[in-house]
Amino acid sequence: MRFTPFAVAATLSAATYLAAPAMAADALGTPSATLTIKTKSADVGVGYTWGDARVTFHKKVYHYKVTGGEIAAVGFSELVSKGTVYNLHNIADMEGSFAVTSGEATLGEGLGGALLENKHGVRLKLESDAKGARLSAGAGGLTFERLK
């Protein structure tokens, strides 16, 4: 009987810990698609990014041209980003510009992540692997143009 409060506290702590990832996903919205982006960035003060993306939505794969930039960046890197798309109800809402505030420091290989959002409320949660030598900080964005 003495261990009952301890068992209850342990159970509640475990439930809170296990529910945290689910609550974080809910804060971003409803997961609706997956995304893979492959980009390269070349920067001298102002950065430029280009590449392609693949979105899997309702068991169909859609391909995009990706371009973008950052306000303050120096160097060159190649990035492979994978993630989840939230609040995507119509594939047409993927096109256009997504705003991001992030930073990257890569020398050789690095890991990163970003959250992006567009005017339709579509959100992207990305985890990235980078190769190269690049330092960036500040606001930027990516534009998605669907390839037909």
Is 54's pLDDT higher than 80? yes
User: What does the alpha-carbon distance between residue 76 and residue 139 come to, in Å, rounded to a whole number?
Assistant: 17
User: Which domain, by its residues, includes 116?
Assistant: 29-146
Quote the pLDDT of residue 85.
97
Residue 66 lies in a domain: yes
Total domain count for the chain?
1
- Phi first, then psi: what are they for 10, rounded to 5°? -65, -40
- Inside any domain, residue 13: no
Which residue has better confidence, 4 or 89?
89
Could you give the C-alpha distances from 80 to 21, 36, 54, 56, in angstroms and in order? Answer: 23, 7, 11, 16
**pTM greater than 0.85:** no
Predicted confidence at residue 112, as pLDDT, reads 75
Torsion angle of C-alpha atoms 71, 75, 81, 84, degrees rounded to 10: -20
Q: Is residue 89 domain-resident?
A: yes
Q: Which of 144, 122, 139 minimizes the C-alpha distance to 28?
A: 122
Tell me the average pLDDT across 114-132: 90
Residue 20: band (very low, low, confident or very high) from pLDDT cuts 50, 70, 90: very low
Q: Is residue 84 part of a domain?
A: yes
Give a yes or no: residue 12 inside a domain.
Answer: no
